[in-house]
């Protein structure tokens, strides 16, 4: 077999632009031009913290407490998108403990993420620490799930406060945080992996609020349809574990009709 000079790449042709996420299949292209080393952005280090006096920090079931479903899930998703992670543990709703945990770990992290503690009740401490030792850029969004969502910074380190209910934690991370972290990682290429598929269900929806509904693609005859999970609610974790992805419905929609084209993203596509 004869390979002609320049049949694959031309002289001075740009192979990969700055900001491209290098995939395993891209390594062959680099090696084919004798490039064994390239400059890359360092991996983002993210500290992950769970808050809430209602969290059971033992292995034993206790009726008045709940197990923490958020922290290790967030760490798993962060690793999937290429981050280093620091497990900051779980703390109760105490201002001094929350402040100490956050301030002590800022030097070790490029970003801090917490779950819980971002509502405006007396026992929610994340917002109070942000206000007293940093700043909040925005707080509370017109979204469902996940209205209590805080973004700010402490000592120039960005801080994201996610809601505490597990579904809201996971959905807001997927839809709001993943792309932000990719930007911190140097990524500048964001291909649109969403698909528009006809709805197989109908439902009312509040105007002026974006909704992220958990659902799956189903086959009906020769048609593909979107079907939402049977039960909703920020604590219904099965709505994620038993679904393929997220159906996004924009603010100007107040009623979803069967047959309406809806935007759909699989969980794997979001994290890829």
* Side-chain half-sphere CA neighbours of 99 within 13 A: 10
Q: Are strands 55-56 and 66-67 parallel, antiparallel or unpaired?
A: parallel
Question: Which CATH architecture group holds 195-271?
Answer: Beta Barrel (2.40)
Q: Note the pTM of the prediction, 2 decimals.
A: 0.92
CATH 3.40.980.10 residue spans of the chain: 45-184
* Domain spanning 45-184: CATH 3.40.980.10: yes
170: nearest Cα among 267, 43, 97, 63: 267
* Helix residue ranges per DSSP H, 147-221: 166-172, 178-184
- Predicted local confidence at residue 19, as pLDDT: 92
- List the chain pLDDT tens, one digit each, 272 residues: 788 888 999 989 999 999 999 999 999 999 999 999 999 999 999 999 999 888 888 778 888 888 899 999 999 999 999 999 999 999 999 999 999 999 999 999 999 999 998 887 788 899 899 999 999 998 889 999 999 999 999 999 999 999 999 999 999 999 999 999 999 999 998 989 999 999 999 999 999 999 999 999 999 999 999 999 999 888 899 999 999 999 999 999 999 999 999 999 999 999 98
CA angle 20, 23, 26 (to 5 degrees): 90
How high is the pLDDT of residue 144? 96
CATH 2.40.340.10 placement within the chain:
195-271
């Amino acid at each position: 077999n004869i390979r002609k000079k320049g049949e694959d790449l031309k002289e001075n042709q740009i192979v990969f632009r700055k900001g491209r996420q290098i995939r395993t299949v891209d390594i062959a292209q680099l090696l084919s031009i004798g490039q064994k080393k390239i400059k890359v952005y360092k991996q983002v280090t993210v500290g992950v913290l769970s808050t809430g006096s209602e969290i059971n920090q033992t292995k034993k079931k206790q009726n008045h407490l709940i197990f923490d479903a958020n922290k290790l899930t967030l760490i798993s998703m962060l690793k999937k998108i290429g981050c280093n992670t620091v497990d900051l543990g779980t703390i109760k709703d105490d201002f001094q403990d929350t402040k100490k945990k956050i301030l002590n770990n800022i030097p070790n992290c490029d970003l801090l993420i917490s779950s819980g503690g971002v509502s405006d009740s007396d026992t929610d401490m994340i917002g109070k620490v942000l206000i007293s030792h940093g700043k909040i850029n925005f707080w509370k969004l017109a979204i469902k799930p996940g209205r209590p969502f805080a973004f700010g910074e402490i000592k120039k380190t960005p801080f994201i406060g996610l809601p505490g209910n597990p579904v809201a934690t996971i959905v807001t991370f997927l839809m709001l945080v993943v792309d932000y972290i990719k930007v911190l990682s140097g990524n500048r290429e964001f291909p649109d992996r969403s698909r528009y598929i006809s709805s197989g269900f109908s439902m009312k929806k509040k105007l002026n609020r974006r909704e992220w509904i958990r659902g799956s693609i189903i086959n009906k005859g020769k048609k593909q349809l979107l079907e939402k999970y049977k039960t909703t609610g920020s604590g219904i974790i099965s709505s994620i574990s038993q679904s393929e992805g997220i159906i996004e419905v924009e603010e100007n929609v107040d009623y979803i009709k069967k047959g309406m084209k809806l935007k759909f993203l699989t969980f794997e596509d979001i994290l890829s």
